[in-house]
Amino acid sequence: MRFSSFKRTASVMVACLAVLTATQASGHAAEARAASMTARGAAVRQEKNYQVEVENFSSQAFDEIALAFTRNSTPVTQILHQFNVPASSVVTFDLGPCSDVKQYAVSGLVGGERKFTTGDVDADPVGCDDIVTIRDTGALAMHRNTR
């Protein structure tokens, strides 16, 4: 009799250990799922940044590409610069959260002289990604004459 009661006690202990192990494992899994969902929720809530890509598809190199922009949250104009922009290159400017960008203007300078400007461009709070393309005006005029 003693042996069978030992068997029963052992089997009950094994069952209890299995339940405890499963509970701890599922608890850790639940914590991991909760942390993952919290991280995903935070990533979803984080607002995308407004980016302006300047494509220099011209034969002109620029000493500087300058982007001036204003935010809704502050009246001060901020200016970002990219120096020594060669022909056939792309430069990207990150302006911060989409909903905060109000307007921007892009200019290309050579020897301190402005060679082109976009003028004021109203920001698109939905799109948040703009592309400014610089091309040779001579090539564009030649292309128009061939039609």
For 72-126, write each residue's pLDDT tens digit. Answer: 999 899 999 999 999 999 999 999 999 999 999 999 999 999 999 999 999 987 8
The pLDDT of residue 13 is above 60: no
pLDDT of 58 reads 93
Nearest to 120 by CA among 134, 105, 132: 105
- Binned at pLDDT 50, 70 and 90, residue 27 comes out as low
Answer positive or negative: Cα dihedral of 24, 28, 31, 37: negative
Scored b (16 or more CB within 10 A) or e, 10-24 reads eeeeeeeeeeeeeee
pTM: 0.63
Q: How is residue 126 annotated by DSSP?
A: T
The pLDDT of residue 6 is above 50: no
